[in-house]
Amino acid sequence: MHEAPEISGARCPGVVLLHGIARGSASLRRLERSLQAAGFATLNIDYASRGKPIAALADDIQPAIARFAEREAPLHFVAHSMGGLVTRAYLAKYRPGRLGGVVMLGTPNGGSEVADLLSGSRLYRAFYGPAGLELTTANRSNVLPVVDYPVGVIAGNRFIDPIAGLFVLPKPNDGRVSVQSAMLAGMADHIVVNASHTGLPRHGIAIAQTIAFLQDGRFSLT
């Protein structure tokens, strides 16, 4: 696991950023820079997303987050795709005392029909590993309990892959996760933007809405 350089101020609210499966901290760099410009300290973590089950990935990121959480400030989480599931697993076990809000971008909270379709493939299992098998629509409530902290969900409704977007996933969807699957029981707010799954963390409106939620506990109406 690699920790991207931490930008910090002792009393600035902190944000832990967690990328999706088969991605890296670089995929959240534009979002991270925008958070820093808005006055947040950031911890953008690289973790071995394809190497272990989600619960074990939560254990792996604990030491870095624990050090970051020692700051005297609220601690928020912003996660893309599977990073949101890792966040939920982490908070179920290691919830920090100063927990603020959580923003999930394109997280398959209800699973992905694309994973359902491909999970039987040897190539899929070899590439995406144990965590990839946890992205199906099978019930994960025993591992990921209902949230009791502020969560904002951002979903995309633009797809690039026409096969998945038109024939595999319920509409609307972002090419990997349907809008409905991104929703989460107990969430504080949700919004849909015109972005694809991989484009969500770089989408200007999604970034602005992420900052709005962390500042106000809800998405902006303007």
Instruction: Give the model's confidence band at 11: pLDDT under 50 very low, under 70 low, under 90 confident, else very high.
Output: confident
The pLDDT tens digits of the residues spanning 121-164 come to 999 999 999 999 999 998 654 568 889 999 999 999 999 999 99
pLDDT of amino acid 221:
76
pLDDT of amino acid 10:
64
Q: Which single residue is written with the structure tokens 């797809």?
A: 159
> What pTM value is reported for the model?
0.93
Q: Which phi and psi angles does 60 have, rounded to 5°? A: -65, -40
The pLDDT tens digits of the residues spanning 17-76 come to 999 999 999 999 999 999 999 999 999 999 999 999 999 999 999 999 999 999 889 999
Alpha carbon of 98 to those of 19, 68, 78, 81, 141: distances in Å?
22, 12, 15, 24, 25
pLDDT of amino acid 138:
84
